[in-house]
Amino acid sequence: MEQIKTILVAADSNDAQAIKNALGSEEFNFTVWVTPEATGLNKTGNHPADLALIAVGDQSEAEFGFAERLYMTRSDIVIVMLAKELTTELVTRAMNAGVARVIDFNSEPDIIRSEVLAATNREKSRAAASGGQTTAYRSHIVQFFCPKGGTGKTTLSVNLAVALAQQGKKVALIDLDLQFGDVGIFLDIGRADTIADLVQENKFDSATLQGYMTHHSSGVNILLASKAPEYADLIKSEHIDTILSSLRYEYDFLVLDMAPAFNDCTITAMEQSDAIFFVVTEDISTLYHAKTCYKVFEALNLLPKVKLVVNKDGMSGISTRDVERILEQKVILSLPDDPKTVTQALNRGIPVVTGDRRSRFAVEMENFARRLGRNK
């Protein structure tokens, strides 16, 4: 009989070994052991496997997240959880995460083995339906950037993140305007942990990262910028690289609100991003600086990622077509000049796409989010 290629998912090596001991090696080929974190999910992305066995204990948030991500991306893998304590809540959450069966890890080895085999055989039809294809899970990282203040990049970042969440995507919004970030103000978030607090702890595993993020009522998880400008100096480019590398396997989208400057941290984030939404407004000063920026993008080999966005369209006699002609780039998104709606949303701490969904701004942003979601 052909052995079942099995991935072990356990936070503790003792749990991984206990699973091996319980199941034996006759029917199962244990190909890899991973921890339930972003790096573990990355490792399993294209790893040949029929079965994933996930050990869960008292602290099981990472395990449920891992199961959900695996279920969404690997239709060829049967997911089974082994729980040290079965509860109705745990079983319900496991089923919602795509787990085929939850088994009491305190059962006799023969019972555990037979239940795992039964679940694997029952779920083989799901693997067959996928045609044997596998895809590594990977977030789409997008950012809004402009070296000039006042273009509305924070407004766009916040509203895109919320619009994506409203469409069922798992979204993280990261404020990388490290000195003067305003994401917390736009979403009416008071005191909360920040990226500076995370860097000072100097731990970047999945559980720690999630602990420093603020969950907003819109469904978006947010990593806020520093509380004061002086804390920004604590954050280095290697921290940005590590944070984005870890989070990208936990979410469908990471939306980055960037600082208005080229520096080591912003360039690192640009290199990690799939798309750089370059925000301009229809005024000569912004367009002048934009032409200079395109030369910098070209020098950094980032030009293929750069997508031109016009905000506050209609604010002047310069049209979107004029912007395309001046910058020699195609505009992929144009948002109307609606200062009253945007200012009211900011003052209320409620995004436009939530508080005024019939406005032209909200309609355009929701349509844009829908296009991004389809193309991911």
Q: For position 139, what pLDDT does the model report?
A: 77
CATH 3.40.50.2300 given to domain 4-129 = yes
State the Cα–Cα distance between residues 205 and 152, nearest whole angstrom: 33
Helix H segments across the chain? 13-23, 38-44, 61-73, 88-96, 109-122, 124-129, 153-166, 183-186, 195-201, 206-211, 237-247, 264-272, 284-299, 320-327, 339-348, 352-355, 360-375
Q: For position 59, what pLDDT does the model report?
A: 61
State the Cα–Cα distance between residues 278 and 308, nearest whole angstrom: 5
The ranges assigned to domains in the chain are: 4-129, 140-375
State the Cα–Cα distance between residues 72 and 52, nearest whole angstrom: 13
SS3 251: coil
| pLDDT per residue rounded down to tens, the chain (376 residues) | 578 889 999 988 888 999 998 888 788 899 889 988 877 777 787 788 889 999 987 667 788 888 888 887 787 889 999 998 888 888 888 888 888 889 988 888 888 888 888 888 877 654 455 454 544 556 799 999 998 888 999 999 999 999 999 988 889 999 999 999 999 999 999 888 999 999 998 888 777 888 899 999 998 999 999 888 898 999 999 999 989 988 887 888 999 999 998 999 999 999 999 999 999 999 999 999 999 999 999 999 999 999 999 999 988 889 999 999 999 999 999 999 988 999 998 999 999 999 888 899 999 999 999 999 876 5
Q: For position 311, what pLDDT does the model report?
A: 93
Q: At what angle do helices 88-96 and 61-73 cross, to 10 degrees?
A: 30
Q: For position 220, what pLDDT does the model report?
A: 93
DSSP-assigned letter for residue 224: B
Q: Residue length, the chain?
A: 376
CB atoms within 10 A of CB 165: 25
State the Cα–Cα distance between residues 33 and 55, nearest whole angstrom: 11
Q: Which residues pair with 224 in a beta bridge?
A: 194
**Quick check: 353 and 362 in contact, CB under 8 A?**
yes
Please name the residues in contact with 320: beta carbons below 8 A apart, sequence gap of 6 or more.
282, 310, 313, 331, 334
Q: For position 225, what pLDDT does the model report?
A: 93
State the Cα–Cα distance between residues 203 and 209, nearest whole angstrom: 8
- CA geometry: angle 133, 136, 137, nearest 5 deg: 125
Q: How many helices (H) and strands (E) does the chain have?
A: 17, 13
Q: For position 134, what pLDDT does the model report?
A: 47
CATH topology of domain 140-375: Rossmann fold (3.40.50)
SS3 370: helix
